[in-house]
Amino acid sequence: MGLFSFTQEIAMDLGTANTIIIHGDKVVVDEPSIVAIDRVSGKLVAIGEKARQMHGKTHENIKTIRPLRDGVIADFNAAEQMIKGMIKMIPTRGHWFTPYIRMVVCIPSGSTEVEVRAVRDSAEHSGGRDVYMIYEPMAAAIGIGIDVVAPEGSMVVDIGGGTAEIAVIALGGIVCNRSITVAGDVFTSDIQDYMRQQHNIRIGERTAEEIKIQVGSVLPDLENPPPDFIVRGPNLMTALPVEVPVSFQEISHCLDKSISRIETAILDVLEQTPPELYADIVTHGIYLAGGGALLRGLDKRLSDKISIPFRVAEDPLRAVARGTGIALKNVDKFSFLMR
């Protein structure tokens, strides 16, 4: 960024679980969407990964907050502090002035006007002068490399932390879509409930997240099964420490209901899809993006259930951010997709 370059362009995937910022075609910030705040002064103590390490381990003077729930801003003040703090993390060669910040932020396709307004206000209060919004499934499709303007149908299923976004896209618009709040956070709480009921062990959000990453699966039979994951925690009855090995079969069983709800939502969207576009989707397959796409066996389970091939995008975690970055570079070309 040169001395006389007055515009700083930022693409932001403001996610429930992670926030990714792209600046100058590169991912410059990729941090958990969490802040730690001092209860007394209200000042920011930590942000991102540092705050995540404190999550579930704080004393009474510090609280950790996840400002987004189900893909939308739940705590306005914390969201603003988080966006400001993350923008400050962007490595720039010392400005002696405040740059003009142009931002593209992605939002869930099911957002209400109030929720869209909250994201826009947070971005503007954090220094954004030109703020554009793009819907997550559209950003995911652009990031995967789909020609969203072409006169043919493409279908994207983006399973993030707070929402699963399912959309059929053609001619640069969303033809039909569903946004459901069954996604990473629900999987995490499913695992916590399962461990409590089946193994009598209490675990926190971070441990459940770790189980999901290490042995998360949606099929009871896998070709390359991961080794069991050892969980340590207090027994609910005795409060004495216990160690429990958890297998991928158990996790596939405990996530079954939530995955079935995603399957139903996909079938709902396919039901609303016009026949010509439906034919295109059957030909090209359906793309999976977002962190949920990394669950072992998800593409196979969905392909078997729905009889349409499902493909996991490359680097599914960053597909939405990549698409937001491409939309930012081509604001004029994609302006009709923005809000």
Could you state, in order of their start, the residue ranges of all structural domains in the chain? 147-182+257-317, 184-254
What is the per-residue pLDDT for 331? Answer: 82
Rounded mean pLDDT of 34-59?
A: 92
The whole-model pTM stands at: 0.91
- Higher-scoring residue by pLDDT: 2, 41: 41
Burial of 197 (0-12, 13-18, 19+ CB in 10 A): exposed
First to last CA, the chain: 27
Return the axis-axis angle of helices 298-306 and 256-272, rounded to nearest 10°: 50
Q: pLDDT band at residue 4, thresholds of 50, 70 and 90?
A: very low
The Cα-based distances of 254 to 33, 174, 181, 189, 258 in angstroms read: 26, 33, 17, 10, 9
Residue with tokens 């705040």: 37
pLDDT, tens digit, for every residue of 182-239? 999 999 999 999 999 999 999 999 999 999 999 999 999 999 999 999 999 999 999 9
Q: Could you count the other beta carbons within 10 Å of the beta carbon of residue 60? A: 7
Alpha helix ranges (H) inside 129-255: 136-144, 184-199, 205-215, 248-254
Q: Work out the average pLDDT over 126-148.
A: 92
Task: Assign 2 a pLDDT band (cuts: 50, 70, 90).
Answer: very low
Q: Residue 73: beta bridge partners?
A: 68
Region 111-133: mean pLDDT is: 89
pLDDT at res. 82:
93
Question: How high is the pLDDT of residue 1?
Answer: 43
Q: In the CATH scheme, what architecture does the domain 184-254 have?
A: Alpha-Beta Complex (3.90)
Angle between helices 184-199 and 205-215 (to 10 degrees): 100
Q: Which has the higher per-residue pLDDT, 93 or 175?
A: 175
Closest to 187 (Cα-Cα) out of 78, 260, 271, 266: 260
Work out whether the CA dihedral 146, 103, 181, 109 comes out positive or negative.
Answer: negative
What CA–CA distance (Å, rounded) separates 276 from 45?
A: 54
When comparing pLDDT for 4 and 170, which is higher? 170
Cβ atoms within 10 Å of 32's Cβ, excluding its own: 20
CA distance readout (Å), 336 to 114, 131, 175 = 21, 14, 15
- What's the average model confidence in pLDDT over 277-304? 96
As a whole number, the mean pLDDT across the chain is 92
How far are the Cα atoms of 97, 224, 230, 307 from residue 252, in angstroms, in the given order?
53, 15, 17, 20
Question: Residue 98: is its pLDDT beyond 70?
Answer: no
- The Cα-based distances of 7 to 98, 100, 153, 256, 339 in angstroms read 9, 5, 36, 48, 20
Q: For position 97, what pLDDT does the model report? A: 57
Predicted confidence at residue 293, as pLDDT, reads 96
- Domain 147-182+257-317 CATH assignment equals 3.40.640.10: no
**pLDDT attached to residue 109:** 87
- Provide the pairing of β-strand 286-289 with 310-312: parallel
pLDDT of residue 102 exceeding 80:
yes
Residue 164 has pLDDT above 80, yes or no: yes
pLDDT value for 70: 85
If pLDDT is split at 50, 70 and 90, which confidence band does 24 have? confident
What pLDDT sits at residue 5? 55
Closest CA to 53 of 239, 264, 205: 205
Question: Which run of H or E residues covers position 67?
Answer: none
- Tally the residues of the chain: 339
